[in-house]
Amino acid sequence: MSAARSALVDVRSGPELAPKVALERWEAAMSETYIPLAVAPHRVEGFGGRIAATEFDGLLVTSVQAAAQTVRRTPRLVAAAADRYILASIYLSGRGVMHQDGREAHIGAGDMVFYDSARPYRWEIDEPFDKVVVQVPMARLAAAAGPAARTVPTAIAVGPEHPAAAVGAYFRGLARLQRTDPVRAAELATHGPGLMASALHLLAGPGEPPTAELTRARVLAFMRKRCADAELTVEAVARRFAVSPRTLYRLFEGAESPARRLLRMRLDHACALLRDCPSRSVREVAAAAGFSAERHFYRVFHAELGMTPGDYRAAISLCPAG
């Protein structure tokens, strides 16, 4: 087992480092740590960024904290590259949007996303962030994954509930362990390429394009769990599954639309609250069921059930006391 090589880069603009110089150093640090990149911080004044990188026999594991920025892997940079890498970002805090292969993945704390250095991509990060980034040479990954490495499911959000998220937890732990016990971290790192290959296999599915895994059952389970959130929209559901709203609607062709399903879930929840919680006002029930306005709740309830929420409550048997 080769010894791990570590490096730390900390760039801060201020009295001792002009903003323009700081930005140039940060872009150079990003390009030297990973692959050549075009980096544009969103604010020049007060920009700061830190990279703690450890390379374990070709497996690069880094911790990155920085201010808002846009990171691009341009067609020119791709064309000039001799080697190909697969990268994974695991967010600890902040939010970002990864664009590649015509898809966009909205990533927040606890999420993971894969991307490929051999094709152009773009990161849009509008707030300070903290994440772990893992980079594996395609040759190492192919040796571990076999034929599964031919199709890498890029720009697809892997949430905490997905089985592949366990691999993200492994890499987060590896980044922490490197700071306190580099010897044991190096031992654990030998499993990194194989685990990344396993995560890609879980995400892509055997021989199917990534979006083929997106089933109605998964979407409906997510909507059912979150329907009481007034901010949950069809667009938000589509972002969660890293597809366009049009693709999401196509998934429901021949059945109730996603918007209709979401409305029915909220109404069912409201009916249960009206029945089981007589002490709650209609306004409270509307808010608890995911309706943003009481008037909208009245209108939708009457249109769907033919009566007002108050009439519905009066018509059903209330829960007996005690």
pLDDT of residue 321: 46
pLDDT of residue 233: 93
Residue 195, CA atoms < 13 Å, CB-side half-sphere: 20
Domains of the chain in start order, with CATH, are 5-208 (2.60.120.10), 214-322 (1.10.10.60)
Comparing 255 with 85, the larger pLDDT belongs to: 85
Residue 81 — very low, low, confident or very high, per pLDDT cuts 50/70/90? very high
Residue 106 has pLDDT above 60, yes or no: yes
| DSSP-based helix, strand, coil % in the chain, nearest 5 | 45, 25, 30
The whole-number average pLDDT for the span 97-118 is 92
Q: Which residues contact residue 115 at a Cβ distance below 8 angstroms, ignoring those fewer than 6 apart? A: 86, 87, 88, 89, 98, 100, 121, 154, 155
Residue 250 — very low, low, confident or very high, per pLDDT cuts 50/70/90? confident
Question: Which amino acid makes up residue 132?
Answer: V
pTM of the model: 0.64
CA distance 108 to 100: 17
Residue 84 has pLDDT above 50, yes or no: yes
What is the 3-class SS of 51-62, one letter each residue? EEEEEECCEEEE
For residue 178, what are the CA distances in angstroms to 41, 92, 130, 194? 28, 17, 17, 19
Residue 126: what are its φ and ψ, rounded to 5°? Answer: -100, 10
pLDDT of residue 213: 42
Where do we find the tokens 């909220």? 266
| pLDDT tens profile 21-79 | 999 999 999 999 999 999 999 988 889 999 999 999 889 999 999 999 999 999 999 99
170: nearest Cα among 146, 196, 143: 196
* Percentage of the chain lying above the pLDDT 90 cut: 59
CA distance 249 to 224: 17
| pLDDT tens profile 148-195 | 555 688 898 888 888 889 999 999 999 999 989 988 999 999 889 889
Q: Which residues, listed in sequence order, are joined to residue 64 by a DSSP beta bridge?
A: 51, 131
3-state class (DSSP) for residue 146: helix
pLDDT of residue 322: 42
Residue 285 — very low, low, confident or very high, per pLDDT cuts 50/70/90? very high
